[in-house]
Structure 1
Amino acid sequence: MSRLRTLAGLVVLATAGLLITPTAAQAATPLRANISCDAETGAVTTWASGNLLVPGTPTSVIVEFQRRGGTRVTATTSTALASAAQPYVVKTTSTSTGDVNATGYHTTFDPVTSLFYRENLLVTFKNAAGVTLTTREASCNYDQRTTATLTCDPEARTVTATVDGVNGQAGASSGAGRPTRVGYHVVRIIQHVQNEPRFRSELLGGAWDIEHRVTRAADGTWTDAGYARTQTGTPYYYAEELTVGVFDTYGAIVGWTTTRCTLFDGSVTPA
């Protein structure tokens, strides 16, 4: 299942490590596509912001927002969302610093009947002549049935991840929408000593660190023991960020959740 090995919507930064320095962080606001799925109202909102051009005279820019598929799972169905035939087009002007801000399309989904909802967004940035400058992607996820737990135990020096699911028999009778596999993508953030910068490390290419097959009980519940690792040494700061993707038998994403925990933080005085 090739889709199982693609971590959609996640910006992959480094494999050995990305050095996070104050200078780099302050140089420019990263250019991002954004999409939110409101859990209470079902409103889907899209926007884009960040640095697109070098500083200078404000310039006309075209920003195109386009839905690029997604998934909706209910108690009895699993539906692949169709990509939009045409983009939602916004014409705007960059600031003198080269930043752009644009609000895209709005739509809705039903947060009551949707056990899982995912919508993928592609944003294309063009100059006034219509020439593509760059693109960005993002996804939003609404998940009523998947919970990830990441536990950091400083005394044992361990980080443990587990995932629990409910309503795993929901979806189509063909198996579409029903969890069959789970993938774990782990980001490690480490600072060795107090006055040194932090490093952010993760796999390149959108790969999952760990993949397991899901075993569902008769009532549709399932639990997966993701991983347990012991941190050697005592860095000044160490934390993990976890993204969990759940896939049905056809490779469609039917669950998505994130969490994080901090194992060591030298700036915090022990209780």
Structure 2
Amino acid sequence: MDSILQYQDFRRFLQDFYDWKKRTSAFSWRIYSKMGGFTSPVFMKQVCEGKANLGKKAAIKVADAFGFVGGERDYFFNMVQYAQAKTDEKKHFAYVEMQSILRANKVHHIGAETFRYYDSWIHPVVRELAPSMPGAMPKEIAKKCIHDVSATQVKESIDFQVNAGILQKTGDATYKQTDKLLAGDTQAISLAVRSMNKQMADFAVDAIDRFSADERFISGITMGVSNDAYGKIVEVLRKCREQVQDIILNDSKTEQVLRLNLQLFPLTQKIEGNENEK
């Protein structure tokens, strides 16, 4: 049975423990629930299946039953919080704490680099700037950024991306992008991407006043649509994004780093009874 630190899903850990004990003894859900101090004989089964959550007191009971102490205990509590939190902020905090505990215990999870990359706007901007400014020091790269970033943050981003294989060092302060694909836990990546999208949305608001009309393109349409039209619009936007990517791939140099946000979101609730009318 692997250590708790090898898991990111507490329900999967609890299920794997049950399966392991079942293979080696006359273990049952009743015994499992009793082990955790719960009166319901199926409580642990419901938790593993996602039909019940672990409240604070219940999480402490389970941690005690497994004898978790120190980093493992903190990791378990944060893993429960990450899975059950209702807001992105709480999920984000718990996941960051989990990664901190893993680093302290020299445990590496595939996908941790992906979360870190997408969690901050700094990394994708530095990924574009560093190869385009051969020989430039972090302070020079930082000065090119519109939004505040320190030379230390730039250096940390470069070091992180080189270690993760996102950037490759080719000479003294000279880098090139690699074709490495970032992958990992889907929920964690989605959480980090949402965090970045929020940062970039704030930058888009700032750009309205910061830049003149010939330096930015911001436009929008407020529209009433059917479900069918919505699907068609999303497909058009998806193709537009792909076309922009093709233009970038065929561009030979970088003179500036830009951000393109494609935003389509509801302004009202669904209107009942209008599914087939326009």
TM-score strictly above 0.5: no
Query: Greater share of strand residues, 1 or 2?
Result: 1
> Which structure shows the bigger proportion of residues in helix conformation?
2
Q: Please give the TM-score of this superposition, normalised by the length of structure 1.
A: 0.21
TM-score under structure 2 length normalisation: 0.20
Name the structure, 1 or 2, with higher relative contact order (CA <8 Å, separation 6+). Answer: 1
